[in-house]
Amino acid sequence: MKKTLYDVLGVAQNADQATLRAATDRQLAEYAPERATPATAEDYAIRCVAVREAWYVLGDEQRRAAYDGSLRPVMTPDEAIAAFAPELQSSGLRLPGSPRLIGALLALLLILPAGWWFRLGATVGSPEDAAARQRAEVERIEREQTEGSPEDQAREREARVAREAEWRERREREAAERAERQRQQEVEQARREADSVSRDLEYSRQRAEQDERQQAERARREAERLAAEDRRERERQAAEARRRLERDKAYLERLQRENQGYRSDY
């Protein structure tokens, strides 16, 4: 039994598009050129070509329906070489390259008409059919652009990882900036509190000096008042002593005059 395009992808004939896409991505990732060794590079290249052509036919609903209707089997490279070897030998045609690569090219010649006859038929038929096919082709292109190839998906994953790393770095940078702003605010708050304490201490010192000056002024005024009162008291006492002295002196003079008067009488 010859292999079909479904066999190339390793899925059943009734598989949905999601299964076909997953199988295609898995096969392309498994037989990627960078994973091949020098001994398996040719086999991997042939397998990737077959997988891409199978997805080209089965990935589109119209091409898949046409293929399912005809279900033309796909020859393997060995079968293609065996089928066309007599004709090549009889014609004397010698193609460059390895026999397996030639067989793969011959097998592709059998695959391509199954996928390309829709392109050739796009120019025939009614205008409505042409517009419908054109819309289907546009939708296919948009769907392929939206879904992307495995390489596009890998690049998208790398870009997403890079965006997430950039987002984390930006979040960490913002957190560091917030912490720095918080630290600066705390330092500024501490500085303002220190300035406030310093102002309070300066105000207290100035008030203490002012109180000391006021107390010294009050003490000076009190001392001056007491000194003035003492001076006035001494002056009063001196004046009182002078008055007593003058009164006593006058009294003695009067007594002396009286004594002289008595003597003169005798």
Phi, psi of 5, rounded to the nearest 5 degrees: -65, -30
Interacting residues of 35 by C-beta distance below 8 A, sequence separation 6+: 44
Can you list the residues of the chain whose pLDDT is less than 70?
Answer: 1-2, 71-153, 265-266
Question: What pLDDT is recorded for position 154?
Answer: 73
Interacting residues of 106 by C-beta distance below 8 A, sequence separation 6+: 75, 77, 80, 81, 83, 84
Cross-strand pairs, 3: 74
Residue 132 tokens read as 């419908």
* Sequence letter at residue 203: Y
Question: What pLDDT is recorded for position 115?
Answer: 42
Residue 1 tokens read as 């039994």
Phi, psi of 74, rounded to the nearest 5 degrees: -100, 125
